[in-house]
Amino acid sequence: MNISHSVPLKFSGEVKEALESGKPVVALESNVITHGLDYPDNVTTAKNVEQAVRESGAVPATIGIDNGEFLIGMSDKQIEKFATASHVPKVTSRDIPVVLASGGMGATTVASSILAAEIAGIKFFCSAGIGGVHRGAETSMDISADLTQLTRSRVAVVCAGAKNILDIGLTLEFLETWNVPIISYQSDDFPAFYCRSSGFKSPQRLDDPAVIAKAIEINWMLPGGKGILITTPTKPEDAIDSQKIDMIIQGAVLEAKRNNIVGNSLTKYLMRMIDRETNGISAKANMAVLVNTANVAGKLAVAHAIHKFSGEIYSGRSQAQ
């Protein structure tokens, strides 16, 4: 059964034409528009991220849910709607059936965007940072659905690592346990969102997009090969010192405990505290990470498309001979 015929998908004309003609496409989440930034910065950033993908030679496909359908690629009007609508729910993978059945709006997270991308036939997804294992998860069991979705969907995820508010060491351990390949592009370290290094070395480093494209295809040919994680650090001029962020987080975590802020509310609280303590610098760094990661994702998607095209030509010639 073709899953894409069963799940309601509404493609934009640009994305539909790109997929039908074999052009590289990069999926993007809509949660950044509804929950990540304030208006009108959310609209400006969403358009800048899409433009960064286009400048790299790929086609952007911002994903959301509206009227009981996955939107695979948004118009400017749809982006504005998501940016200004109130109480748009944050939709992770487990929420998809209910939100689609209810017919309302939904902002896709990393996990649900990866799932939608796979159904739509999009091979690449881009985000500033993935979710991970939260601090204190050994007692709370708070582990992001982003990680489990990586173990299930055959999509290459390009990001700037994971936020410092998470337990990055345990996040890397989880991904190792579930055999998710991690490749850092042109960097030795696993990055931490707007910090160029999390303090942890990456399991693998590759500097050539063509080699990364080949590694992606090999991963998908292997039994059980699903998601693959490719990290790229933010530009040096846009980065924030990791020690400064760590000090802010330590203080914010203690304050959150005193105020009994836990669960889904904790992440948003910590990010707001970081923004406040850095006088808004972190918000600007957040936008820069989104744009840079989108540009790199587009370049890698282009390299993958070239690799696939070359392989098809070679295969065709071999069969002809």
* 110 among annotated binding-site residues: yes
Query: Residue 144, annotated ligand binder?
Result: yes
Residue 129 lies in a domain: yes
The verdict on whether 217 is a catalytic residue reads no
CATH classification at residue 145 = 3.40.1790.10
- pLDDT single digits (tens) 19-59: 999 999 999 999 999 987 889 999 999 999 999 999 999 99
Q: Is residue 3 part of a domain?
A: no
pLDDT at 320 over 90: no
Confidence of residue 3 (pLDDT cuts 50, 70, 90): very low
Question: What is the chain's mean pLDDT, rounded?
Answer: 91
Annotated binding-site residue? 90: yes
Q: Is 66 annotated as a binding residue?
A: no
| pLDDT bracket for residue 139 (50, 70, 90) | confident
The question of whether 299 is a catalytic residue gets the answer no
Q: Which of 10, 123, 163, 226 is catalytic?
A: 163
Q: Of the listed 29, 50, 80, 118, which one is catalytic?
A: 29
Distance in angstroms (rounded) separating the CA atoms of residues 133 and 110: 14
- The answer to whether residue 318 scores a pLDDT higher than 60 is no
- Residue 16: the pLDDT is 98
Q: What's the N-to-C CA distance of the chain in angstroms?
A: 34
Could you give the CA distance from residue 147 to residue 2 in angstroms, rounded to a whole number? 25
- List, in sequence order, every residue forming a beta bridge with 166; answer none if it has no partner: 134
The rounded distance, in Å, linking the Cα atoms of 126 and 298 is 9
> 71 is in which domain, residue-wise?
9-316
Check the annotation: does 86 bind a ligand: no
pLDDT reading at 227 higher than 80: yes
Q: What is the pLDDT of residue 321?
A: 38
Residues 245-295: tens digit of each pLDDT: 888 888 888 888 888 887 667 777 877 888 888 887 888 888 999 999 999
Look at residue 181 and tell me if it is in a domain. yes
Is 28 domain-assigned?
yes
Query: pLDDT band at 312, cuts 50/70/90?
Result: low
Dist CA 148 CA 133 (whole Å): 11
pLDDT by residue (tens digit) across 84-108? 999 999 999 999 999 999 999 999 9
Name the token pair of 8.
């309601």
For residue 1, being part of any structural domain is answered with no
Mean pLDDT, rounded, for 114-142: 93
| Total count of domains within the chain | 1
The pTM for the full model equals 0.91
